[in-house]
Homo-oligomer: A and B are copies of this chain.
Amino acid sequence: MDLVRIYQCLCDRTRLRLLNLLLHGPLCVCHFQAILREPQVKISKHLGYLRRNGLVEAERQSNWMIYRLPAKQAPGLKANLACLQDCLREDRGFREDLERLRKVRGGLGADCPTCVRKPGAVCAG
Residues of A within 8 A of B (CB): 3-4, 7-8, 10-13, 16, 75-76, 79-80, 82-84, 86-88, 90-91
Contacts and interface: CB of A to CB of B under 8 A. Distances in A.
Contacts of A84: 3
A98 to B, nearest CB: 16
Copies of this protein chain in the complex: 2
A1 to B, nearest CB: 10
Complex A-B, nearest 9 residue pairs according to Cβ-Cβ distance, in ascending order = A7-B11, A7-B10, A83-B83, A8-B11, A76-B87, A11-B11, A4-B13, A7-B7, A79-B83
Interface residues of chain A: helix, strand, loop or mixed (majority): helix
Contacts of A7: 7, 10-11
Given A3-B84, A4-B16, A79-B87, 19 more contacts: A3-B16, A3-B88, A3-B91, A4-B11, A4-B12, A4-B13, A7-B7, A7-B10, A7-B11, A10-B10, A10-B11, A11-B11, A75-B87, A76-B90, A79-B83, A79-B86, A80-B87, A82-B83, A83-B83
A80 to B, nearest CB: 6
6 contacts: A3-B84, A3-B88, A4-B13, A8-B11, A76-B87, A80-B83
